[in-house]
Amino acid sequence: MPTSASPLSTYPPLNVRVHTPRLSLLGATDELLEGLVPIVREGVVTQPPWPFDDPMSLYEDSPEREWRWLRAVWRGRGAVGASRWRLYFVVVVDGEPVGMQDLIATDFATLGTVTTFSWLSPAVRGGGLGKEMRQAVLHLAFDGFGAREAGSDAFFDNHASNGVSQALGYQPNGVTWDTRRGEPAEISRWRLTREQWAERRRDDIDLVAVRDCLPVLGIDPPPAG
Ligand SMILES: CC(C)(COP(=O)(O)OP(=O)(O)OC[C@H]1O[C@@H](n2cnc3c(N)ncnc32)[C@H](O)[C@@H]1OP(=O)(O)O)[C@@H](O)C(=O)NCCC(=O)NCCS
């Protein structure tokens, strides 16, 4: 797996990396995505309560599931601009890809807000990796990109996702509704301000190749030095 010595890409978002003591978030190259295919094929979500309404069509039968998932990532990667971007990261633990952590923004240069989306291999859930990868991507958003606020939404019965938000100091931000697989269900909304993040800021998370990525996202780089 190309976790450390891959050649740099011409496209800066693919070079961004976030390292914590437990895991790395690596810009999702096709090679890294290929490493996740066995998990996607096996099934990221196999039973209710359905945790999201099919943003990547992970509910399809294989091989359509893998194809749709790849197409969704490729579409998102190809639609990056100042008005809207989504960065896809593969979560790597001990050299093995185990999930994805995305960072999403609309009009970031003006609003400074981000949201996140993630999934982990069922085999490694419940051991704190969900919190660790959210902390990693929050470090990128707040420290690397200068975000003002991070949001997270999850269906009310997605206890793991809501648990991550709660454990990391997000505050409840109301409810909304969405459909999942055609049925309406309540969404719990969470928000974490920059000040709230700073209270729990970690000093053991490293960011790599962030500065080169800023122009791609329409963010003015801070003065050098
Ligand atoms: C959401 C997800 C990434 C979280 O990762 P994880 O490794 O399972 O979560 P963690 O082990 O870091 O646990 C985070 C918190 O939630 C709690 N939690 C985890 N799973 C839980 C469950 N099934 N029921 C209740 N609480 C749970 C943990 O106790 C922890 O809280 P604590 O620190 O207060 O003890 C993972 O569960 C997943 O991939 N789920 C399927 C996809 C998904 O739902 N994605 C989110 C879409 S919005």
Give per-residue pLDDT as tens, 119-136.
Answer: 999 999 999 999 999 999
What's the pTM?
0.96
Map out the domains of the chain with their CATH numbers. Answer: 13-217 (3.40.630.30)
Give per-residue pLDDT as tens, 191-214.
Answer: 999 999 999 999 999 999 999 999
Helix (H), strand (E) at residue 216: none
Best of 118, 138, 170 for a ligand 1 pocket test (most atoms within 8 Å of beta carbon): 118
Which residue has 């001990």 as its token pair? Answer: 94
Q: Are 16 and 87 in contact (CB under 8 A)?
A: yes
Helix (H), strand (E) at residue 42: helix 30-42
**Of all protein residues, whose CA lies closest to atom 9 belonging to ligand 1?**
130
**Of all protein residues, whose CA lies closest to atom 10 belonging to ligand 1?**
128
201 is written with which tokens? 């800021």
User: Does any ligand 1 atom lie closer than 6 A to the CB of residue 161?
Assistant: yes
**Of all protein residues, whose CA lies closest to atom 18 belonging to ligand 1?**
160
Give per-residue pLDDT as tens, 53-89.
Answer: 866 678 889 999 999 999 999 999 999 999 999 999 9
CA distance 121 to 104: 21
Q: Indicate if the pLDDT at residue 157 is higher than 80.
A: yes
